[in-house]
Structure 1
């Protein structure tokens, strides 16, 4: 599907009806505000490589690196935003494809900051396609919605039955150390995911929607007492999912927990999902890393390297 058609589909989302005004500085989706990134991985001479790369600022990937000592065959790409964060009127398109038997990791250079907006909104459309026996770890860093920000994202995943995808979102409630009004001070945050097989069979879909002044976000059963959240999906064959589930139970300490988490089964035997909430980003990152480690060990027979000191 063409980029402009995908953007038009997002423009029609009902939650965006109140955010159609044009910015005073530069019109929405103007040149320089449309970022596009295409990454294609395949096996060449027995090694997974980044064989296809297209980039259009403000999105950038330089090259694939092989720095994971625990899985040296894994090409790793970091998505860089040269725009300093997401601004009003920005439109992003990311397309990631893995051919048969390929493996890769895609992450982001740093947290994804969604800046304050007084007109329009920002959007992102992602497509992720995995061929048979492919393996992808797509784990962006935290998304931080600033006060008054408006952001909508749609991720469409097509995955073969024997492939494995570890993908998800990590969110902050805002810049809580900057100002009290930053916590859930956003105007709109809409993040949807749909997953299907190559033959078109739908596995599941989900949507996280937070709108301005939604008091339920701070309820005890949602985010009361916590400011970081993660929803990480592991779409994998049922036998691997069973082994991972056996290792990752519920973490719900009784006394003043820094973080809580649990792993549930996805519909239609698609795999598992980790939900975690914590006081700070590093509390949630710890829960994600525990799940990530189990996934890699059970699916690929490799572990995770030691975490960087500055993380």
Structure 2
């Protein structure tokens, strides 16, 4: 088996063909994960011949006790990918306290490549436990927009903070292996003493967004302007969302935490933030269909 696919249910490598279009160079899929064919949504723009769009699909009912999911993404020099989910990821009830589900991401973004990945929400059912690890290697000339939305229960059923825990660890390295950003989160459910506090209760939909810019455009002036533009998103069109941003170490981008009263509003806000990054690079905004 190819080393890229080893222990992964989904392994993708993308690169550019001679015409400059991003194409799949390698694709390995195993149950329960698969991806759609590559499609392009930016007709009539310069990016139309470059960026690939893919949907990730999960044919299982969700994550169950003992599941281990591995996902590998490799973007070669100059490639551009927008990756989305077909549906939310349900983390099901795990009655035995020693059981968890594991999700592991390995992402490598090459020279002048760009990855935009805004997954659908994680839904943490009663007694669910999830551990997620994300390892990212990114070139100084590359860009990354990576989002996450977490629902602390099946909110439509009145279920909230009845899961056991969600633990997430993310590390970003340069190609030489030097870690320049790390983030860890331990979100408790039943044992969360702050679940009914005004901070958590005011917005049950939790989100984070990492925006890493190519080094050449990540100036202090640019980051200040980008942060102001993203902060302004909540004033009118995304009033259901509260967010705060801070510069990443080394001044390469922004780290954003957000809460919202609705999933739709937070997703819309994150896509608007991604469009702010695209505008910085004179690229077309996300197609309306997304």
Please give the range of the TM-score, normalised by the shorter of the 2 chains.
0.7 to 0.9
Q: Say if 2:125 is the partner of 1:146.
A: yes
For 1:175, the equivalent position in structure 2 comes to 154
Checking the alignment, whether the CA contact within 8 Å between 2:65 and 2:100 is kept in structure 1 is: yes
For 1:113, the equivalent position in structure 2 comes to 90
Cα offset for 1:130? 0.6
Q: Which runs of 4+ in 1 moved over 4 A?
A: 2-5, 68-71, 250-254
Q: Say if 2:9 is the partner of 1:36.
A: yes
For 2:48, the equivalent position in structure 1 comes to 72
Alpha carbons of structure 1 residues 302 and 150: separation in structure 2 relative to 1, 3 Å: same
Give the Cα separation in 2 of the matches to 1:299 and 1:126.
27
For 1:57, the equivalent position in structure 2 comes to 31
Give the Cα separation in 1 of the matches to 2:8 and 2:90.
15
Give the Cα separation in 1 of the matches to 2:282 and 2:105.
25
Deviations 1:100-155 (A, max 9, x none): 11111111111111111123111011011011111110111111111111110000
Alpha carbons of structure 1 residues 217 and 265: separation in structure 2 relative to 1, 3 Å: farther
**Which of residues 226, 237, 244 is equivalent to 1:244?**
226
Give the Cα separation in 1 of the matches to 2:111 and 2:5.
29
Give the Cα separation in 1 of the matches to 2:79 and 2:61.
32
**Which of residues 193, 209, 214 is equivalent to 1:232?**
209
Alpha carbons of structure 1 residues 218 and 204: separation in structure 2 relative to 1, 3 Å: farther
CA RMSD in angstroms comes to 2.3
Cα offset for 1:189? 0.6
Give the Cα separation in 1 of the matches to 2:121 and 2:111.
29
Give the Cα separation in 1 of the matches to 2:64 and 2:254.
33
Alpha carbons of structure 1 residues 300 and 134: separation in structure 2 relative to 1, 3 Å: farther
Give the Cα separation in 1 of the matches to 2:210 and 2:195.
22
* Within-5 A mapping of 1:168-207: 168-178=147-157, 180=158, 182-207=159-184
For 1:213, the equivalent position in structure 2 comes to 191
TM-score normalised by the chain length of structure 2: 0.87
Alpha carbons of structure 1 residues 282 and 49: separation in structure 2 relative to 1, 3 Å: same
Give the Cα separation in 1 of the matches to 2:55 and 2:115.
13
Give the Cα separation in 2 of the matches to 1:225 and 1:146.
20
Checking the alignment, whether the CA contact within 8 Å between 1:40 and 1:50 is kept in structure 2 is: yes
For 1:122, the equivalent position in structure 2 comes to 101
Checking the alignment, whether the CA contact within 8 Å between 1:39 and 1:52 is kept in structure 2 is: yes
Cα offset for 1:250? 5.3
In structure 2, runs of 5+ residues without a counterpart are: none
Give the Cα separation in 2 of the matches to 1:217 and 1:268.
34
Deviations 1:272-308 (A, max 9, x none): 1222211010121122122011011213522122245
Alpha carbons of structure 1 residues 307 and 277: separation in structure 2 relative to 1, 3 Å: farther
Cα offset for 1:246? 4.4
Cα offset for 1:95? 0.4
For 1:14, the equivalent position in structure 2 comes to none
Alpha carbons of structure 1 residues 68 and 219: separation in structure 2 relative to 1, 3 Å: farther
TM-score normalised by the chain length of structure 1: 0.81
Alpha carbons of structure 1 residues 300 and 133: separation in structure 2 relative to 1, 3 Å: farther
Checking the alignment, whether the CA contact within 8 Å between 1:3 and 1:93 is kept in structure 2 is: no
Checking the alignment, whether the CA contact within 8 Å between 2:84 and 2:118 is kept in structure 1 is: yes
Aligned residues: 274
Cα offset for 1:184? 0.9
Checking the alignment, whether the CA contact within 8 Å between 1:264 and 1:274 is kept in structure 2 is: yes
Cα offset for 1:251? 5.7
Deviations 1:157-211 (A, max 9, x none): 0000110010121111211221x3x201111111111111011121111112112
Stretch deviating more after TM superposition (41-50 or 212-221): 212-221
Give the Cα separation in 1 of the matches to 2:288 and 2:8.
33
